[in-house]
């Protein structure tokens, strides 16, 4: 279905009922009569949202809206616009403020006050129906790029927008594309990194499930910019729904001619395939990801050479994250200046954060760079569960660190987070309250990294294991004050000597918690921590609730008689503490 024009005829409920006649069928009939079938395709879409002026017909790639189209206007639109290339001015959309007819839909400033860029369509369109994506200006960015811009101009646009990689590292996307585009050869690849492995991050999954086409469209734009005709989405097998939606989206995009050969009759070919991850965290690192796609162990390799020089199948490859891609169609449609006007000096645009943990409004938020944590947690996140006291927020997953109370007012961007010992990472924010044990949290992360270490380099393979052992010793009250120095030494050494980004950042959870919560480490080191729960006999009413919830059955006692916890068996899970109706349980 590669035609010069695509007519998008609104099939929303409002337009359909305004004029009972079937406009799409009318267009098809007239086009067939005039034998213009090979130049134009007719597509029914979802609602355009300006139902007051319906029915709406949109013409691609011209990006122009005809409003209040009647059955009697069909002949004129086809004859003038499609056949002769003249705009039918009397039917154009009129700007409500200036009363001027708007030829290009781009002129509208609707997005300026919106802070949902990457998530702009999530929840608003049906992700399994391409027409709904088209109705929100979907594939318009691709069409306009193919029609009006050279690949170099696209790269320049990205550079000007100052978009930085949203996967964690924050490398400027435009530069990455430029490096890849400048490499010699015709065989290049675009890869979408959807191996979202950070525990507590789920924005990539949401984008893929809620707006898969925006990623496909952006990948095609990337392909055009760097000179690639094949793209791959590397998605973790833990996300079955995202994979399902992507498959549907790709099939529909091919059907509409947005993927495949000769897209928008521009001579540009581009198609996309899915590759599945098989449960290895390290594959989120780009060189490891590429090895995994090649059917090998997902071990990282030393950079340089960077993937932009020698990547998938040893060819120049640009690897970008899902959220990064989701920003791109919006940047093309609204311009680089618009994007660069949002955010802080060095971090432009918005960032999606996944709020989780002890916070009231758990979920995704998209805010301009430079928003403070306090705003995110208290204004957007609705504050702490049960009004408990805020202790810290863990950002950046196993590569990041904790941010304590005193830094709540730091405006968040790539640099400021690094300065306070954390990192942007993929944007997971796990909120901790007064009940959470910081050392246990650090141990949890180290358990994760030592388990996920690919084993290629010694600092990461053995170093993280030793760090974990020290933390384990400390939390079992078997450690000593010397352990703290060894732990810190080890952490610094791993940070300086590991091969890839994951290894280098693995000690961060320990280093940052040691910086801000040294007293908790010391309490463990000097064995001052009481790490089991106990029952205050005077308060216990013998209701048996605690005994019933205890997962290790270490609470004994009979009805209406005070209960007792066997401290040698207690795993300090806190279930009894939550269950007790009379606050008779004492915390460690």
Give me the residues that bind another protein (CB under 8 A), please: 196-202, 204-205, 237-240, 275-276, 278-281, 292-299, 354, 356-358, 362-364, 394, 397, 428, 430, 432, 436, 441, 444-445, 448, 452, 454, 549, 551-552, 573-575, 578
Q: Can you tell me the distance from the alpha carbon of 367 to that of 364, in angstroms, rounded to the nearest whole number?
A: 10
CB of 357 to another protein, least distance (A): 5
Q: How far is the CB of 198 from another protein (least distance, A)?
A: 7
CB 104 within 8 A of CB 141: no
Q: Distance (Å, rounded) from C-alpha 280 to C-alpha 271?
A: 26
Tell me how far, at minimum, the Cβ of 314 lies from another protein, in Å. 13
Nearer to another protein, 278 or 582 (CB): 278
Of 104 and 587, nearer to another protein (C-beta) is: 587
Q: Which is nearer to another protein, 155 or 454 (CB)?
A: 454
> How far apart are CB 421 and another protein at their closest, in Å?
18
Tally Cβ neighbours within 10 Å of residue 539: 13
Q: For residues 71 and 360, which CB has a smaller minimum distance to another protein in the complex?
A: 360
User: Whole-number minimum distance, CB 412 to another protein, in Å?
Assistant: 19
Structure tokens at 407: 């830094």
User: Which residues touch 369 (CB under 8 Å, ≥6 apart)?
Assistant: 342, 343, 344, 347, 348, 349, 350, 351, 411, 412, 413
Residue identified by tokens 């000593």 is 480
In the complex, minimum distance from the CB of residue 199 to another protein, in angstroms, rounded to a whole number: 4
Q: Which is nearer to another protein, 155 or 439 (CB)?
A: 439
Nearest residue (CB) to another protein, 267 versus 295: 295
- Give min distance, CB of 432 to another protein, in A: 7
Looking at the DSSP assignment, which residues form a beta bridge with residue 70? Answer: none
Task: Considering the complex, state which of residue 65 and residue 402 has its C-beta at the smaller distance from another protein.
Answer: 402
Which CB sits closer to another protein, 81 or 291?
A: 291
Task: Name the nearest CA neighbour of 408 among 369, 370, 373.
Answer: 373
166 vs 176, beta carbon nearer another protein:
166
Q: How far is the CB of 339 from another protein (least distance, A)?
A: 27
Residue among 368 and 398 whose Cβ is closer to another protein:
398
Shortest Å distance, C-beta 245 to another protein? 14
Which residue has tokens 């796990």? 430
Q: Which residues contact 101 (CB under 8 A, 6 or more apart)?
A: 89, 92, 93, 94, 95
Give the residue carrying structure tokens 């019933």.
548
Minimum distance of another protein from residue 528's CB (angstroms) = 24
Is the CB of 230 or the CB of 334 nearer to another protein?
Answer: 230
| 463-498 burial: b if 16+ Cβ within 10 Å, else e | bbeebbebbebbbeeebeeebbeebbebbeebbeeb
Residue 157 to residue 331: CA distance in whole angstroms: 8
First to last CA, the chain: 68
Q: What's CA 378's distance to the chain center, in Å?
A: 22
Task: Tell me which residue of 475, 480, 471, 476 sits closest to 447, measured CA to CA.
Answer: 471
Kindly report the length of the chain: 588
Residue 410 is given by DSSP the state P
- Asked if 358 and 436 touch (Cβ cutoff 8 Å), the reply is yes
Report DSSP letters for 84-108, one per residue.
T----GGGB-B-TTT-PBPSSGGG-
Tokens of residue 277, six digits: 């991850």
CB of 448 to another protein, least distance (A): 8
């Amino acid at each position: 279905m590669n035609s010069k024009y695509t007519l998008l005829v609104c099939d929303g409920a409002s337009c359909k009922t305004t004029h009972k006649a079937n406009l799409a069928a009318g267009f098809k009939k007239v086009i067939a009569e005039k034998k213009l079938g090979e130049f134009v395709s007719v597509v029914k879409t979802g609602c355009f949202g300006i139902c007051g002026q319906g029915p709406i017909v949109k013409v691609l790639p011209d990006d122009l809206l005809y409003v209040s189209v009647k059955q009697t206007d069909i002949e004129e639109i086809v004859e003038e616009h499609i056949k002769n290339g003249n705009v039918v001015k009397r039917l154009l959309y009129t700007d409500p403020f200036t009363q001027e007819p708007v030829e290009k839909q781009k002129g509208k400033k609707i997005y300026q006050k919106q802070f949902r860029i990457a998530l702009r369509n999530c929840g608003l369109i049906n992700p399994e129906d391409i027409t709904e994506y088209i109705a929100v200006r979907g594939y318009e960015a691709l069409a306009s790029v193919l029609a009006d811009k050279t690949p170099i101009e696209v790269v320049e646009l990205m550079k000007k927008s100052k978009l930085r990689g949203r996967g964690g590292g924050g490398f400027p996307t435009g530069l990455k594309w430029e490096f890849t585009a400048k490499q010699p050869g015709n065989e290049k690849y675009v890869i979408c990194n959807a191996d979202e492995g950070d525990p507590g991050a789920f924005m990539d999954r949401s984008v893929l499930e809620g707006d898969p086409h925006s990623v496909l469209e952006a990948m095609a734009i990337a392909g055009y910019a760097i000179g690639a005709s094949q793209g791959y989405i590397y998605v973790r097998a833990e996300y079955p729904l995202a994979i399902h939606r992507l498959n549907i989206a790709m099939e529909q995009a091919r059907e509409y001619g947005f993927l495949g050969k000769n897209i928008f009759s521009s001579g540009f070919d581009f198609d996309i395939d899915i590759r599945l991850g098989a449960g290895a965290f390290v594959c989120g690192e780009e060189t490891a990801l590429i090895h995994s796609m090649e059917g090998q162990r997902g071990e990282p390799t030393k950079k340089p050479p960077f993937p932009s020089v020698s990547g998938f199948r040893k060819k120049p490859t640009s690897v970008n994250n899902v959220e990064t891609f989701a920003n791109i169609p919006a940047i093309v449609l609204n311009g680089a200046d618009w994007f660069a006007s949002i955010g802080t000096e060095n971090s432009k645009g918005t960032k999606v954060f996944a709020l989780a943990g002890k916070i009231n409004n758990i979920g995704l938020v998209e805010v301009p760079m430079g928003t403070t944590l306090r705003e995110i947690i208290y204004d957007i996140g609705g504050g702490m569960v049960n009004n408990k006291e805020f202790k810290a927020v863990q950002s950046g997953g196993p590569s990041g660190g904790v941010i304590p109370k005193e830094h709540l007012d730091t405006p968040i961007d790539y640099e400021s987070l690094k300065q306070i010992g954390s990192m942007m990472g993929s944007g997971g924010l796990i909120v901790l309250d007064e009940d959470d044990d910081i050392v246990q949290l650090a141990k949890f992360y180290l358990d994760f990294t030592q388990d996920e270490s690919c084993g290629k380099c010694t600092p990461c393979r053995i170093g993280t294991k030793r760090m974990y052992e020290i933390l384990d010793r400390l939390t079992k009250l078997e450690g000593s004050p010397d352990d703290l120095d060894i732990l810190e030494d080890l952490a610094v050494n791993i940070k300086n000597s590991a091969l890839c980004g994951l290894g280098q950042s693995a000690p961060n959870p320990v280093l940052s918690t040691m910086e801000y919560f040294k007293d908790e480490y010391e309490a463990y080191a000097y064995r001052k921590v009481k790490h089991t729960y106990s029952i205050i006999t005077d308060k216990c009413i013998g209701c048996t609730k605690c005994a019933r919830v205890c997962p290790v059955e270490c609470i004994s006692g009979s009805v209406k008689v005070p209960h007792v916890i066997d401290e040698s068996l207690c795993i300090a899970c806190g279930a009894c503490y939550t269950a007790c109706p009379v606050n008779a349980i004492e915390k460690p």
